[in-house]
Structure 1
Amino acid sequence: MLDLSQVLTYSAALGVAAAIPGPGMAALVARSVSGGALSGFCLLGGLILGDLTYLSLAVFGLAMIAEHFHALFQLVRWGVALYLAYLAWQFWRAQHQAIETGRAVPRKELLSAALSGLTITLGNPKTIAFYLALLPLVINLEAVSLQAWAFMLVPLTIAVLLAVGALFVFGAVRIRHLLSSLRAQQRLFRGAALIMAAAAAAMLVRG
């Protein structure tokens, strides 16, 4: 099991890493502004699921398998990079309209937000670096049992990311009135598009 110092160090490191602006938080703010809190939290759920995926890879040592399945991981890397580029294109060309605070968000849009969050995290170099490079320096992964992963690391990761993400979601919702103009929305979405395009390029260069 993890001791208190490891729990606190991991929580602090994860919180700081999550709060640093990147493609995930840029998309989270943009989605929260355009679709409201529910849409934002759906995207946040996808972001968290992506983090849990990398956490599991790190804990169970599956990153080492990449050496034996190099072609498969290269294919996945290119797929994620292309999807990030597609999202960047979608954000750049998004057709904006006046914000309606009381409208119901379609289920298809919520599912799309969650999928976007997952893909953005899987292709985020910052997330990859945290779990596969920084995490082993914070926690002795060889000493992490299945129980510690399931009952400590997973709930702790969800709690920290949910707390940090909620600040961005509610902050974006509170300033929606400042971004009600179509020009302001365009700037926000195109800024997010540029960050996603940079993340896609980093995925390819990193390989």
Structure 2
Amino acid sequence: MVAEHFNALFEVVRWGAALYLCYLAWQFWFANHQAIEVGRSVKKRELLSAALSGLTITLGNPKTIAFYLAILPLVIDLQAVSLQTWAMMLVPLTVLVLLGVGALFIVAAVRIRHLLSSPRAQRHLFRGAATIMVAAAASMLRR
């Protein structure tokens, strides 16, 4: 009902969004790409700090907590779990799983960083993103 009364406004917003996507695509296509320095050594303190901040952000993420709350009753009989079992097994296991998954993401990010360190690789990445943006804009206008 609201959309019927403000049809012209929604058309302007749709065209504006499509034009903005095309503008961003143009910026990406003609961006000045520079080599990224990947040889800098990282201190252990920085790595520990990054790992702890990632774990804290993950544990504070409501989607992560909701996922565990939804899956946990399917895996474990909550009536049979005592507070001691919860504290001694489930909490450390959850933290270990999150650290393991986080470590996989870190390794993948480091490898991708090395792959995208050259200006040529960045140009391919940015032009691919620009192509996707133009396709999204065309899809918006086609409807």
Q: TM-score with structure 1 length normalisation?
A: 0.35
Greater radius of gyration (CA): 2
Q: TM-score with structure 2 length normalisation?
A: 0.49
